[in-house]
Amino acid sequence: MIIRQDRYLRTDIETISTVKVYNQEVFIYQCFLLELPWRNNRQGTSCIPKGMYIIKKRKSGENGSRIKYPHLEVMNVPTREGIKWHVANYVKQLMGCGAPGKLAEDIDRDGIVDMVSSRLALNELLNVLDDENILIITDEQV
């Protein structure tokens, strides 16, 4: 599968993207993704650079992960490791990882966009993806 992550909202607090999954060229799924803002790709405090990566399904605790449920891991990020897509609703729950969601809206009315139904979106992604997939991150919405 090919996952296209198009970043469309960048602030000093967060980055929001649309995520679209394609089987060959056929669109099959869409959700949103919450990340930290760009901070020069620093471990634990930044989103990752735009580019092409491999994203793999991971089981609970696989490869020493502290995440106790199935999730996704982005591979081969320059100078970084352990980048997961996992369940989270708020940017304060992230340390360099991404959180999928069904909707992007301000849940707690603090002026910051949050992810709605993150667990559902992650489970849906896990259901449509192969064990290993291509992730393409851009800075433009299409």
Predicted local confidence at residue 63, as pLDDT: 64
Contact 136, 1 (CB under 8 A): no
Taking the mean position of all CA atoms in its chain, how far away is CA 66? 17
Predicted local confidence at residue 60, as pLDDT: 78
Structural domain boundaries, residue 119: 2-138
> Average pLDDT of each block of 10 consecutive residues along the chain (142 residues)?
95 96 96 97 94 93 75 95 95 96 96 96 97 93 50
Predicted local confidence at residue 64, as pLDDT: 62
Predicted local confidence at residue 141, as pLDDT: 53
Predicted local confidence at residue 142, as pLDDT: 47
User: Could you give the number of structural domains in the chain?
Assistant: 1
| pTM metric for this prediction | 0.93
